[in-house]
Structure 1
Amino acid sequence: MRLGIIINTEKESVIAMLPDFLEWLTARHYKFMVNTDAEEFIRARTSDKTVFADTRTLVEASDVLISFGGDGTLLSTAKMVGTAQKPILGVNVGKLGFLTEIETKELHHAIERLHDGKYTREKRMVLEITLGMRTFYALNDAVIMRGNDGRVIQIGVDVNNAFLNNYIADGLIIATPTGSTAYSLSANGPIMSPTIEAIIVNPICPHTLTMRPLVINSEHDVRLTLRSEDRALVSIDGVVEAELSHNDTLTIREAKHFVHLVRFGERNFFDVLRGKLHWGEDDRVNSR
């Protein structure tokens, strides 16, 4: 088994702990590669045996990808993996960590379990977004949002060629169940079990309060058309990828591939919800 290691070089805590971890892997004769973005930060502190590789080579040559950072780093890793469907182990060195599976203190034990094949793959639905000749993929969400002029925008939505609504709002979130705990949650969207296959249509600050989040079948195609004259931006998993003009159209559907996350079965989604959102805790005790 060969491990492909992808790190968030903007996190000093990752840079600090990674050399010792790589030495641990080397001492136990594990095969691994590290993305080239990390080379300038850790080359002087690692063994000469450490192999650095560009993203394409690393994904093709690795059996499992290990993402060091937070949920944002894991989203970037999923984008790198693309349609290859290689399993991804997320190591949380961030704050919230809905997607990551382990903390750094669990790392050595997790690698041993990976090596012994004592893990499962959890399939997560992906969105395919088409804009003209361009195609994007999103694990969390695709968002149309207003530009820099600050005015609300109007977005026409059709589902399977049937008209749904003209949303007048700051924007519109189209999210997967995985993305239900991301931006959509901040916009009062529903929390969904992440292995469900469904699509969330969720307006951002709608002008009419009766415009509520909607969950539709993942087999449906969603077509978004910018009806307003003002330009809008398209964000895919938190990264602005394109700009829309009047009557530009996005088509969103369930992708044919999945993102595969490594799971060890020691915690489930509901454990994560309680822990990350502090459910069941009495805030009145802490506020005294």
Structure 2
Amino acid sequence: MSLAGGPIDRIGLVVHPHRPLLGALAALEAWTQRHGAELVQVPIAGQDRVVAPPGDAATVDLVVALGGDGTTLAALHAAAPHAKPVLGIACGSLGALTATSADDVEGALDRMAAGDWHRRALPGVGVSVDGKVPYIAINDLVVVRRGANQVVIGVYVDGELYVRFAGDGVVIATPLGSSAYTMAAGGPILATGTEAIVITPVAAHGGSTPPLVVGVRSSVRIAVEGGHGGARIEFDGQIKDFEPHAIETSWREDYATLVRFDDAERTLAGLRRRRIITDSPRVLARDDREAAEGAVLSE
């Protein structure tokens, strides 16, 4: 449902660490000056690039991410505890999380101020590692071997053993994240709106270990034996400095809020445009043949 418009008095900014941003940043600064809004930069761990005065995400009306999907993910994590919407602006090609391109920064902000946008609620997977307070993954959690040796992974669903395997690791993904590392590891893509997570072994050494789709109301436990080299864990691509042994998941509905416009590209269409999903060569060859035959007939 479209939300009513209102003034945007303070914008929090999250930027890509090194991608060219001058055009998008200039447009953003021009819009804030014209509308009397304040522009601050939301601190992100490991981010040294400074383009605006620092500001707390809790105090802004909107968080704007300049970069790509990775930058937008960082912005979503910063904004989520304060229920702030995130506008992803692609400084490059449009991705799964960016709502508009760097060429239309001012137009996108005008639409938001007018209420011409929608909230896209993104779920997350809460992951408790060795009994600690859960981390939240919007895309995926990855357990991967740290050294040259394999890790041994045990997957349990609602207390029942699914499989134990030796390999490079395992990916636990949300529907949003299923088209990233999960798909690359041979797992399925979950359509938008699917209430499930997918568990995908990475380079399993023998056995029968197909990816497993699990409903969000089920509990998943991952047992990790790191071997001599140990294992590491990543949340949405960010490496955490601890070694996991026991992992338990929980579903976090409506964890973060992404800005979406009515004319936004749908998820599957975006995957096709970026050629993450492509038709089979036989089908494409048939299309080329029929197009060539049609051109001959029209002459």
Q: TM-score over 0.5 for the alignment?
A: yes
- What CA distance in whole angstroms lies between the structure 2 residues aligned with 1:40 and 1:151? 37
Residue 17 of structure 2 aligns with which residue? 9
Residue 126 of structure 2 aligns with which residue? 128
Residue 100 of structure 2 aligns with which residue? 102
Q: Name the TM-score, length of structure 2 as normaliser.
A: 0.82
Aligned pair 1:263/2:271, yes or no? no
Give the fraction of aligned pairs with identical amino acids, expressed as a percent: 25
In structure 2, runs of 5+ residues without a counterpart are 1-7, 289-299
Confirm or deny: 8 A CA contact 2:24 2:66 kept in the other structure: no
* One-letter amino acid of the counterpart of residue 53, structure 1: P
Q: Report the secondary structure of 2:206's partner residue.
A: coil
TM superposition shift of 1:250: 1.1
- What CA distance in whole angstroms lies between the structure 1 residues aligned with 2:180 and 2:254? 21
- What CA distance in whole angstroms lies between the structure 1 residues aligned with 2:158 and 2:22? 47
Choose the corresponding residue for 2:152, options 151, 154, 161. 154
Q: Report the secondary structure of 1:260's partner residue.
A: strand
TM superposition shift of 1:15: 4.3
TM superposition shift of 1:273: 1.8
Aligned pair 1:69/2:67, yes or no? yes
Q: Deviations over 1:65-114 (max 9, x none)?
A: 11111111111112212332321111111456221111111222111100
Distance 1:281 1:21, change over 3 A: farther
Q: Give the paired residue count.
A: 270
Matches within 5 A, 1:18-167: 18-35=25-42, 41-42=50-51, 52-54=53-55, 57=56, 59-95=57-93, 97-131=95-129, 132-148=131-147, 150-167=148-165
Confirm or deny: 8 A CA contact 2:17 2:48 kept in the other structure: no
* One-letter amino acid of the counterpart of residue 28, structure 2: F
Confirm or deny: 8 A CA contact 1:234 1:241 kept in the other structure: yes
TM superposition shift of 1:53: 2.5
* One-letter amino acid of the counterpart of residue 176, structure 2: T
Confirm or deny: 8 A CA contact 1:3 1:31 kept in the other structure: yes
Confirm or deny: 8 A CA contact 1:174 1:200 kept in the other structure: yes
- What CA distance in whole angstroms lies between the structure 1 residues aligned with 2:200 and 2:43? 38
Output the aligned Cα RMSD.
2.5
Confirm or deny: 8 A CA contact 1:101 1:263 kept in the other structure: yes
TM superposition shift of 1:121: 0.8
Confirm or deny: 8 A CA contact 1:123 1:195 kept in the other structure: no
- What CA distance in whole angstroms lies between the structure 1 residues aligned with 2:91 and 2:120? 21
Matches within 5 A, 1:236-275: 236-244=235-243, 248-266=245-263, 267-275=265-273
Choose the corresponding residue for 1:182, options 180, 183, 190. 180
- What CA distance in whole angstroms lies between the structure 2 residues aligned with 1:168 and 1:40? 40
TM superposition shift of 1:16: 5.3
- What CA distance in whole angstroms lies between the structure 1 residues aligned with 2:92 and 2:118? 23
TM superposition shift of 1:197: 2.0
* One-letter amino acid of the counterpart of residue 14, structure 2: I
Q: Report the secondary structure of 2:274's partner residue.
A: helix
Q: Report the secondary structure of 2:120's partner residue.
A: strand
TM superposition shift of 1:195: 2.8
In structure 1, runs of 5+ residues without a counterpart are 44-51
